[in-house]
A and B are shown apart, each in its own frame.
Chain A
Amino acid sequence: MTVVHEEPTAGADVPTRRIRVTVNGVTKTVELEPRVLLVHLLRQALGLTGTHMGCDTTNCGACTVLVDGRPTKSCTMLAVQADGHEVRTVEGMSTPSELHPLQEGFKEEHGLQCGFCTPGMLMSAKALLENNPDPTEDEIRWALSGNLCRCTGYQNIVKAVQWAAHKMRGEQA
């Protein structure tokens, strides 16, 4: 267990709360202000900067992480709500040497350009494939419709997810 002592983010008179959250399999104890968003806990306190912020109205999905396996926009969840829960981020998808099939698929099919939406896309796609190992194109597009991308026009992202689905089912990509 790692204990992280984040500097308090509130003024002296603002109460903080201590939470325990499991991120990518490691349980962390963090003390923070109740208003801190989960995305900021991940990015600032834990240094997991793969999760991004692309908007302020919960539309873009760049901040998507898995909370207890469900794709969740971490800009629209308070960090204290993650107390006792399990969070997975893009950093937990692979080891330094081995990529998740989705990460491979995004490379192989050119499913990313600037890379800013990619972590959120990967997490949404991961949740999709865990529930539906053989999705149709329409199902993929629907599952990713909460994730905006400005670079790819989506088509290669769809192909990347199909590539990964093939591979995860043990078929030839």
Chain B
Amino acid sequence: MSDTLEGTAHGNGSAYGSQPRKEDARFVRGLGTFVDDLALPGMLHGAVLRSPLAHAKVVSVDASAALAHPKVKAVITGETLAQRGMAWMPTPSHDTQAVLATDKVRFQGQEVAFVVAEDRYAARDALELIDVEYEPLPAVVDARQALSPDAPVVRDDRPGQENNHIFDWESGDAQRVAEVFAEADVVVEQDMLYPRVHPAPLETCGIVADMDPVSERLTVWSTAQAPHTHRSLYAQLTGIPEHRIRVIAKDIGGGFGNKVGVYPGYVCAIVASMITGCPVKWIEDRSENLMSTAFARDYHMRGEIAARADGTILGLRVRVLADHGAFNATAQPSRFPAGFFGVFTGSYDLQAAHCAVTGVYTNKAPGGVAYSCSFRITEAVYLVERMVDLLAGELDMDPAELRMRNLLRPEQFPYDTATGWRYDSGDYPRALAKALELAKYDDLRAEQAARRERGELMGIGLSFFTEAVGAGPRKYMDMFGFGMADGAELRIHPSGTAVVRLSCMSQGQGHETTFAQLVAQELGIGVDAVDVVQGDTDHTPFGVGTYGSRSIAVSGAAVVTVARQVRERARLIAAAMLEVSPDDLEWGDGRWFVRGDEELGYTLAEIARVAHSSFEPPEGVDAHLNAVTVYNPPNLTFPFGAYLCVVDVDPDTGQVKVRRFVAVDDCGVRINPMIVDGQIHRGLADGIGMALMEQIAFDADGNHLGGSFMDYLLPTALECPSWELGQTVTPSPHHPVGAKGIGEAATVGSPAAVVNAVMDALRPYGVRHADMPLTPAAVWRAIQGRPLRSDVAIT
């Protein structure tokens, strides 16, 4: 290890490659610092009182008995917040969300009051002492009924809102689609639901808020994937200026999109600290996390695919009804109300495509964009990959062959889709061929035929997906009004070690390691000589955070850019040291040296030492080696992959066993392949979970039916097979090192492969489609010819 330390050049070796993570040393010892690990002097504990009803008028909130509890310091109600103008907060979707209910409650589990007590046990005790009088109202549970004229209006707080309609959004050319469909030999139509699921990071959401009344500074430790945007929102809500608010995200126990937004509990803890003058901790429990924080999906989709008889796909038409819950808090770039669903044309060369999305309010928790969705690409990929499989069934074609016939060809890149996206690069047929080869596809089909003879249900499912990650060009994309560019700052110390400051924030993706590798590679120093700082708004440059697999694509590009700026300044100083023209210098092996005379040169560490000495830098060159930059990506990056899943289905019980899962991913250049593979493993497990087990359902009264891990089932080591990974490398031409995002690709690509496999297994029964999750009950019912309506528990 010593040979990589202290700014020594790594010689001919690359800093890229699989290597153990810097993060692990503390985590394996139990020495991470997650938010609930913090204990500050005098710290109080908060707990949220939640609505037992999905829709009800709040008649009165009586907290007197709770306040009389000897350990209770304060009870905050909607009224307390209203007096401060903080009862409602803005959302990323230009809507508002109730912090604590003032007029009525709009989903079960909604925040009604906040107790502050000396310890967490007492805070929970006191919740039971608060008396809330509700006047129940009929609930809007089924999104398909939300726009009916007699549906109760969820958002009667909004001026002019007379129904539950949120938005209509469309993309593509409807006229052109109609023409293409008229010419088609075959059109297949299918309704499908991408059910409401939840990202369920193992660590729930939480905060420690510490308002110092003397300096009027607010310090917040929280589970924040986007610390800088949190700071700005807190400033807007509290009136405390941004320079006196410090948001710190230490270690985060997984985010998966759950920790992008600001939740009412955070705001309540801040107000509680302002009121009591003490630090206030609030850590939600699992049921609160599942019931009230950002859900994912909940898209009711109708897909239509048109093709020629020979299997040439001509066009796609999609209609979506999007259930956004009671407040439109969906976290996506503000001009994209359906996120990047517009990439639903997938990996195929289509003549025309059109989608229309309608968002509606219902009496459910807010959310929508979360759980590694890349802003709704999970839904888009599921839709197109199911439709292609249905088309294959209709044409009686092999689904692999149908895909191979229609995939975009490498020479078509950069490719402009029928809905206006420019895919950067891809070699799709190669990736698909590789997956088929890894899986021994022909052998699998032969095995399947033999098993079918014996009455056994074996299924083979494919999914070929194109992701769109790395949002994004500032001109088009913003979060909370902030352009989606990312800052990076790099300082080289006198001895040649480095500290790089990111605007993004890891929640397990290995940024401390990967971003050090990026700097090390650019500067020819050891990976251990680079420290990565993230998650502290006082000490990191502004940026909009980690989600949408944007870290490597945007922050990574920023880090490479800033490292190259430092390297360039080192060149000018080295030229002065060597008394040669900068044009005569060449970079190699971590040194600037005189072209033609490799002996004459200096490593970055040598240059750094001189740069910090009394040496006079050249005219116009700043002494010291440091730089700051903001990277505004010219486009997204478009990783892709070919997935193949093999399942066995028990015809008597409907139990699905995933026997194999082959995943070929292409995310361009891989900085740390070990970390990339780990990210893919995670997303594949997501696919098993969503396709087979996970669902947030409601009954007709709006009662939440997935409010704990007793009902919300996550895959364990037993449900996951040993993943079989393969790769191809098609660099992004516009990224400074050719890397594309990867974190969400497997979550996006895998559910369709599992569902396609199960549907393939059920072909002997003539089953066309059944909605996720394909639980034993759902599969059994599909076999009986009675597919389950899975979004509402009672049918």
Q: Point out residues on A near B: beta carbons under 8 Å.
A: 9-12, 33, 35-36, 40, 43-44, 47-57, 59-60, 62, 89-91, 93-94, 99, 103, 106-108, 110, 112-119, 122, 137, 140-142, 144-158
Say whether A153 contacts B682, CB under 8 Å.
yes
Q: Which B residues touch A53, using CB under 8 A? A: 36
Q: Given A115-B32, A156-B678, verify A56-B285 contact (CB < 8 Å).
A: yes
Residue of B nearest to A158 (CB): B717
Say whether A55 contacts B674, CB under 8 Å.
no
In the complex the two chains form, what is the Cα distance from A146 to B508 in whole Å? 21
Say whether A48 contacts B30, CB under 8 Å.
yes
Residue of B nearest to A138 (CB): B718
Q: Which B residues touch A140, using CB under 8 A? A: 717
Tell me the smallest distance from the CB of B562 to a CB of chain A, in Å.
Answer: 26
Say whether A150 contacts B30, CB under 8 Å.
no
Q: Point out residues on B near A: beta carbons under 8 Å.
A: 20-21, 23-32, 34, 36-37, 39, 69-71, 119-122, 200-204, 251-254, 256, 285-287, 507-510, 674-675, 677-678, 680-685, 708-710, 714, 716-718, 720, 722-723
User: What are 22 A-B pairs with beta-carbon distances under 8 A?
Assistant: A9-B119, A50-B32, A59-B709, A60-B286, A90-B29, A91-B30, A103-B29, A114-B203, A115-B253, A116-B32, A116-B253, A118-B28, A144-B716, A145-B717, A147-B716, A149-B202, A149-B717, A150-B201, A150-B254, A153-B683, A153-B720, A154-B716
Say whether A54 contacts B286, CB under 8 Å.
yes
The 9 A-B pairs at the shortest CB distance, nearest first, are namely A50-B30, A114-B508, A115-B27, A116-B253, A153-B681, A113-B508, A59-B709, A90-B30, A153-B685
In the complex the two chains form, what is the Cα distance from A142 to B684 in whole Å? 20
Say whether B714 contacts A12, CB under 8 Å.
no
Residue of A nearest to B26 (CB): A115
Q: Which A residues touch B251, using CB under 8 A? A: 114-115
Q: Given A57-B286, A145-B718, A148-B716, verify A116-B34 contact (CB < 8 Å).
A: yes
Say whether B717 contacts A108, CB under 8 Å.
no
Q: Given A48-B30, A52-B203, A107-B21, verify A116-B254 contact (CB < 8 Å).
A: yes
Say whether A49 contacts B30, CB under 8 Å.
yes
In the complex the two chains form, what is the Cα distance from A91 to B204 in whole Å? 22
Say whether A118 contacts B70, CB under 8 Å.
no
Say whether A114 contacts B718, CB under 8 Å.
no
Tell me the smallest distance from the CB of A136 to a CB of chain B, in Å.
Answer: 13
Q: Which B residues touch A158, using CB under 8 A? A: 717, 722
Say whether A107 contacts B24, CB under 8 Å.
yes
Residue of A nearest to B251 (CB): A115
Residue of A nearest to B714 (CB): A148
Residue of B nearest to A137 (CB): B722
Q: Given A110-B20, A118-B28, verify A12-B684 contact (CB < 8 Å).
A: no
Tell me the smallest distance from the CB of B455 to a CB of chain A, in Å.
Answer: 27
Say whether B202 contacts A148, CB under 8 Å.
yes
Say whether B510 contacts A113, CB under 8 Å.
yes
Q: Which B residues touch A94, using CB under 8 A? A: 28-29
Which of B71, B121, B286 has a CB less than 8 Å from the CB of A56?
B286
Q: Which B residues touch A116, using CB under 8 A? A: 32, 34, 201-203, 253-254, 508
Which of B28, B256, B685 has a CB less than 8 Å from the CB of A112?
B28
Say whether A151 contacts B682, CB under 8 Å.
yes
Say whether A9 contacts B29, CB under 8 Å.
no
Say whether A44 contacts B720, CB under 8 Å.
no
Q: Which of B121, B285, B510, B677 has the most CB of A within 10 A?
A: B121
Say whether B254 contacts A108, CB under 8 Å.
no
Q: Which B residues touch A110, using CB under 8 A? A: 20-21, 674-675, 677-678
Q: A112-B24, A114-B253, A148-B709 are in contact. List 7 more A-B contacts (CB 8 A).
A: A49-B30, A49-B37, A103-B28, A114-B201, A147-B716, A151-B508, A156-B681
In the complex the two chains form, what is the Cα distance from A51 to B29 in whole Å? 10
Say whether A52 contacts B24, CB under 8 Å.
no
In the complex the two chains form, what is the Cα distance from A77 to B152 in whole Å? 46
Q: Which of A33, A52, A56 has the most CB of B within 10 A?
A: A56
In the complex the two chains form, what is the Cα distance from A107 to B26 in whole Å? 11
Q: Which of A99, A142, A150 has the most CB of B within 10 A?
A: A150
Q: Which B residues touch A137, using CB under 8 A? A: 722
In the complex the two chains form, what is the Cα distance from A146 to B717 in whole Å? 9
Q: Given A50-B30, A140-B717, verify A114-B678 contact (CB < 8 Å).
A: no
Say whether A56 contacts B287, CB under 8 Å.
yes
In the complex the two chains form, what is the Cα distance from A10 to B70 in whole Å? 10
Q: Which B residues touch A59, using CB under 8 A? A: 708-710
Q: Which B residues touch A108, using CB under 8 A? A: 20
Say whether A113 contacts B509, CB under 8 Å.
yes
Say whether B720 contacts A155, CB under 8 Å.
yes
Residue of B nearest to A48 (CB): B30
Tell me the smallest distance from the CB of B259 to a CB of chain A, in Å.
Answer: 11
In the complex the two chains form, what is the Cα distance from A148 to B254 in whole Å? 12
Say whether A51 contacts B24, CB under 8 Å.
no
Tell me the smallest distance from the CB of B179 to a CB of chain A, in Å.
Answer: 45
In the complex the two chains form, what is the Cα distance from A28 to B21 in whole Å? 35
Say whether B202 contacts A150, CB under 8 Å.
yes
Say whether B23 contacts A115, CB under 8 Å.
yes
Tell me the smallest distance from the CB of B119 to a CB of chain A, in Å.
Answer: 5
Q: Which A residues touch B677, using CB under 8 A? A: 110
Q: Given A144-B717, A150-B714, verify A107-B285 contact (CB < 8 Å).
A: no
In the complex the two chains form, what is the Cα distance from A40 to B25 in whole Å? 24
Q: Which B residues touch A151, using CB under 8 A? A: 254, 508, 678, 682
Residue of A nearest to B120 (CB): A40
Q: Which of B26, B510, B678 has the most CB of A within 10 A?
A: B678
In the complex the two chains form, what is the Cα distance from A51 to B509 in whole Å? 21
In the complex the two chains form, what is the Cα distance from A103 to B359 in whole Å? 47
Residue of B nearest to A106 (CB): B28
Q: Given A114-B253, A142-B718, A145-B716, verify A153-B684 contact (CB < 8 Å).
A: yes
Which of B29, B122, B253 has a CB less than 8 Å from the CB of A52?
B253
Tell me the smallest distance from the CB of B47 to a CB of chain A, in Å.
Answer: 13
In the complex the two chains form, what is the Cα distance from A113 to B681 in whole Å? 11
Q: Which A residues touch B204, using CB under 8 A? A: 54
Which of A36, A89, A91, A154 has a CB less than 8 Å from the CB of B720?
A154
Tell me the smallest distance from the CB of B262 to a CB of chain A, in Å.
Answer: 21
Say whether A55 contacts B286, CB under 8 Å.
yes
In the complex the two chains form, what is the Cα distance from A2 to B425 in whole Å? 63
In the complex the two chains form, what is the Cα distance from A108 to B678 in whole Å? 13
Which of A49, A115, A155 has a CB less than 8 Å from the CB of B723?
A155
Residue of A nearest to B122 (CB): A11
Q: Which A residues touch B681, using CB under 8 A? A: 152-156
In the complex the two chains form, what is the Cα distance from A22 to B205 in whole Å? 32
Residue of B nearest to A59 (CB): B709
Q: Which B residues touch A93, using CB under 8 A? A: 29
Q: Which A residues touch B508, using CB under 8 A? A: 113-116, 151
Say whether A57 contacts B709, CB under 8 Å.
yes
Q: Given A106-B28, A107-B28, verify A114-B254 contact (CB < 8 Å).
A: yes
Tell me the smallest distance from the CB of A69 to a CB of chain B, in Å.
Answer: 19
Q: Given A35-B121, A145-B718, A151-B678, verify A51-B30 contact (CB < 8 Å).
A: yes
